[in-house]
Amino acid sequence: MAKLFSPFILKDIQLKNRVVLPPICMFCGEDDGLVTDFHLMHYGTRAFGGVGLIIQEATGVERRGRITDRDLGIWDDSHIPGLKKLVKICKDYGAKIGIQLGHSGRKCRIHWEDLIAPSSIAFKDTKEPREMSKEEIVQVVNAFREGARRALEIGYDLIEIHGGHGYLVNQFLSPITNKRTDEYGGTIENRGRFLKEVVEAIRKEWPMEKPLCIRLSAEEYFEDGNHPEDIIKIINLIKDRGVDIINVSSGGLEAPREDEHQGHQIRYADIVKKGTGLPVIGGGYIISPHMAEEALQSERADLIFIGRELIRNPNWPLLADFALDNELDWPEQYKRAKPN
């Protein structure tokens, strides 16, 4: 059997394969952050198509923590019923499902919201955010905790903290966006303090036997920004607080990015895996099943995230197996469509 379709055990869950749908914002929520029929269809289709682990799009732990007013939310108990429906559909069709808890900070595009950030530095065409007081830091950390409480009640298999792509956690981590002079700024230890407190808060609600993931931008593509060695130091400072796996990405802090190509983030996954000893999810514009398989066989990643290709083709896992070793049984409803 191809390694891509071998099981993977992570704490109390066993994935049927190593194909991961990463968090990709769909911008289809109601203004109050509620699940719509589109979400049920979108995620359910990828579960039926054979994805092993679905990680739900960035879901705001605060109303002002959304990127847009069409993002999903988990800041209120009213979000629980819709999210329960979504989780049930994915599990009924054989996938495990996680939720990415996020806060946009200065990257919030909702013009009427009160933007907050570690420092008063605006992102592109958004308005200038307020520098967070220590009281507000405590409030946001508690919002992550409450999000974890609701996630457990809803029935998610995994929580992922969004610590990359220039959103609030990343804003604390990066010396480009964090100019604080208190215990939350300056040294790597200080810049990582907010993430450490978020992890600790989540673990007060999220049992240790359940997996906790962090998505991080291993490379910010600016000389004075974070690089893989910095991210490794931050992970190693907090991993014993209950971090189980790292979803390795890059960029997003500011507009410029490295020239992207198929598999361009696998090398960062490999570096982070070796530097932390933790399992990693790697990817980056992977289209070819053979490229995904090679990354696993060479032990540069433990799981592979397939983003845009799974949007184009929700049955990518079925066709990927056919291209590799053709050992999977297709769903009864689709068997007549299986290639010869």
DSSP 288: -
Query: How many other β-carbons are positioned within 10 Å of the β-carbon of residue 212?
Result: 23
Number of domains the chain is built from:
1
Spatial distance between the Cα atoms of 288 and 280, rounded to a whole number of angstroms: 19
Asked whether residue 8 is domain-assigned, the answer is no
Q: With respect to residue 310, please indicate whether it lies within any of the assigned structural domains.
A: no
Q: What is the C-alpha to C-alpha distance for residues 50 and 52, in angstroms, rounded to an integer?
A: 6
Structure token digits, residue 98: 């996680």
Q: What is the mean pLDDT of the chain?
A: 97
CATH of the domain at 76: 3.20.20.70
**Contact criterion met (CB below 8 Å) for 56 and 100:** yes
Relative to beta strand 8-10, strand 13-15 is antiparallel
- Residue 257's closest CA among 245, 269, 248, 249? 249
Q: Is residue 221 part of a domain?
A: yes
Helical ranges in 155-252 per DSSP H: 168-173, 188-191, 193-203, 228-238
Say if 10 falls within a structural domain: no
Q: Within a domain: residue 15?
A: no
* Residue 213 within any structural domain of the chain: yes
197 domain residue, yes or no: yes
* pLDDT tens readout for residues 131-156: 999 999 999 999 999 999 999 999 99
CB 286 within 8 A of CB 19: no
Q: Does residue 94 fall inside a structural domain?
A: yes
Give residues with Cβ within 8 angstroms of 117, minimum separation 6: 105, 106, 129, 130, 131, 132, 168, 171, 177
Please write the tens of the pLDDT for every residue from 109-122: 999 999 999 999 99
Residue 255 — very low, low, confident or very high, per pLDDT cuts 50/70/90? confident
For residue 258, what pLDDT is reported?
A: 65
Mean pLDDT computed over 188-204:
98
132, 117 Cβ separation under 8 angstroms: yes
| pLDDT bracket for residue 260 (50, 70, 90) | confident
CB 228 within 8 A of CB 270: no
Other beta carbons within 10 Å of 86: 24
Residue with tokens 């130091």: 233
pLDDT digits (tens, 9 = 90+) for 218-254: 999 999 999 999 999 999 999 999 999 999 999 999 8
pLDDT tens for 276-320 read 999 999 999 999 999 999 999 999 999 999 999 999 999 999 999
E strands, 218-256, are 245-249
Domain around 35: 21-252+272-280
